[in-house]
């Protein structure tokens, strides 16, 4: 009588660890990614691991003066490289265009509206960005927004604002600012946009047109970073890739990389895809708002990154490099922004 072969016991798939910042917005974004992965792979376990970054800890200095392109990403990247986590969820606008050796951008998710939003104090509910009174104090921590708004509205006053989204809204509501500028995408994701969550309200007073403020590179999209050789994670992320968004963001990131600019320089972009054609608009502005170099390029979307590089080279020939060099000197000397 022959004995039956012992049953084969398969090891359970490894638990996947998602790295995230601790802010409310970062956690909302990371939990969304976790949910999407769980739906697609119900037999897997996905855990969120939170950590604070340098940008979260230093709140009393303007971002541009900290002088670090990885303010909101380095700690998450270190956890990936050390094998403590398996993927990191970033707001793509925070992710530098040069990644550490061994890490890659595993996927880019479908983009929310990348535009900037005006949020006003209750005393200005009847105003728009172009009708705010002279001297109105506008809060922003972005040199890109600062430079463009100074160009269009030199009669307004600008003041740095730091902290997470709720902290900034609180500073506005207490009257410290007449208005603040935030990303539409962040407000929408936190239920403070066009479809407010229960107990919240729509805080978007005006979506600022691209003609006034081109958005940040990658704004509105999530970038998921992972180890370059981790085929298991890359396989899991395939279903979250949104190719039209990715093409737009590759063009924008190619543009930024070629200009050697970090997320804290006044570089703005706008991208549109119609059929198989991508249109990229790019801008570099002086901090005082008195000089703006702006141009546009069209081409096949499959050549997105190269289009970004070519547009950057055009702007450099038109004077963009001189503007950026002046800004680096100004920031380095700790001059007022």
Strand partners, 47: 17
Strand 116-120 vs strand 179-183: parallel, antiparallel, or unpaired?
A: antiparallel
CB atoms under 10 Å from CB of 313, counted, come to 14
Find all residues with CB under 8 Å of 26, minimum gap 6, and list them: 20, 89, 91
Give Rg (Cα) of the chain.
22
CB 150 within 8 A of CB 291: no
Please say if 94 is a catalytic residue.
yes
Of 1, 278, 337, which Cα lies nearest the Cα of 146?
Answer: 337
CB atoms under 10 Å from CB of 140, counted, come to 21
Of 142, 93, 165, 164, which Cα lies nearest the Cα of 337?
Answer: 142
DSSP 126: T
Task: Given the residues 94, 116, 178, 230, select the one marked as catalytic.
Answer: 94
Can you give the pLDDT at residue 226?
98
* Crossing angle (nearest 10°) for helices 304-317 and 243-259: 30
Q: Could you tell me where the DSSP H helices lie in 13-159?
A: 24-40, 54-57, 63-66, 74-81, 143-152
Strand partners, 198: none
CA distance 54 to 74: 8
Q: Evaluate whether the domain defined by 13-111+220-241 bears CATH number 3.40.1000.10.
A: no
Can you give the pLDDT at residue 8?
47
Q: What is the CATH number of domain 116-207?
A: 3.40.190.10
CA distance 288 to 279: 28
**One fold for both 13-111+220-241 and 243-337?**
no
Domain ranges of the chain: 13-111+220-241, 116-207, 243-337
Element (H, E) at 51: strand 46-51
Can you give the pLDDT at residue 10?
46
Strand 103-108 vs strand 157-159: parallel, antiparallel, or unpaired?
A: unpaired
Q: Evaluate whether the domain defined by 243-337 bears CATH number 3.40.50.360.
A: no
CA distance 314 to 310: 6
Per-residue pLDDT of the chain (337 residues), as tens digits, is 455 555 544 456 889 999 999 999 999 999 999 999 999 999 999 999 999 776 555 555 555 544 556 667 899 999 999 999 999 999 999 999 999 999 999 999 999 999 999 999 999 999 999 999 999 999 998 999 999 999 999 999 999 998 888 899 999 999 999 999 999 999 999 999 999 999 899 999 999 999 999 999 999 999 999 999 999 999 999 999 999 999 999 999 999 999 976 556 899 999 999 999 999 999 999 999 999 999 999 999 999 999 999 999 999 999 999 999 888 777 665 555 5
Sign of the Cα torsion 113, 115, 119, 124 reads negative
Strand 116-120 vs strand 267-274: parallel, antiparallel, or unpaired?
A: unpaired
Q: What are phi and psi of 257, to 5 degrees?
A: -60, -40
């Amino acid at each position: 009588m022959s004995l039956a072969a012992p049953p084969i016991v398969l090891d359970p798939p490894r638990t996947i660890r998602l790295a995230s910042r601790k802010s409310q917005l970062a956690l909302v974004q990371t939990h969304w990614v976790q949910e999407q992965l769980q739906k697609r792979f119900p037999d897997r376990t996905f855990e969120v691991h939170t950590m604070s970054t340098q940008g979260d800890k230093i709140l009393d200095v303007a971002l541009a003066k900290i002088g670090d392109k990885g303010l909101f990403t380095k700690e998450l990247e270190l956890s990936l490289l050390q094998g403590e986590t398996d993927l990191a969820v970033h707001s793509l606008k925070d992710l530098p265009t040069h990644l550490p050796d061994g890490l890659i951008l595993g996927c880019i998710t479908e983009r929310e509206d990348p535009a900037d939003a005006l949020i006003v104090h209750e005393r200005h509910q009847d105003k728009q960005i172009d009708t705010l009174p002279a001297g109105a104090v506008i809060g922003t921590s972005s040199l890109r927004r600062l430079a463009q708004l100074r160009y269009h509205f030199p009669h307004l006053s600008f003041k740095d604002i730091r902290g997470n989204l709720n902290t900034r809204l609180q500073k506005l509501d207490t009257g410290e600012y007449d208005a603040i500028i935030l990303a539409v995408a962040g407000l929408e994701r936190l239920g403070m946009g066009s479809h407010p969550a229960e107990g919240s309200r729509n805080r978007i007073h005006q979506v600022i047109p691209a003609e006034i403020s081109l958005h940040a590179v990658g704004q509105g999209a999530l970038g998921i970073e992972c180890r370059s050789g981790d085929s298991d994670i890359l396989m899991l992320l395939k279903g979250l890739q949104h190719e039209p968004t990715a093409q737009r963001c590759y063009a924008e990131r190619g543009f930024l990389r070629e200009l050697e600019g970090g997320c804290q320089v006044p570089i703005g972009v706008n991208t549109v895809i119609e059929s198989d054609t991508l249109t990229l608009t790019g801008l570099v502005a002086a901090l005082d708002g008195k000089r703006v170099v702006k141009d546009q390029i069209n081409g096949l979307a499959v050549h997105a990154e190269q289009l970004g590089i070519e547009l950057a080279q055009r702007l450099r020939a038109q004077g963009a490099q001189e503007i950026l060099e002046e800004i680096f000197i100004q920031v380095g000397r700790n001059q007022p922004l």
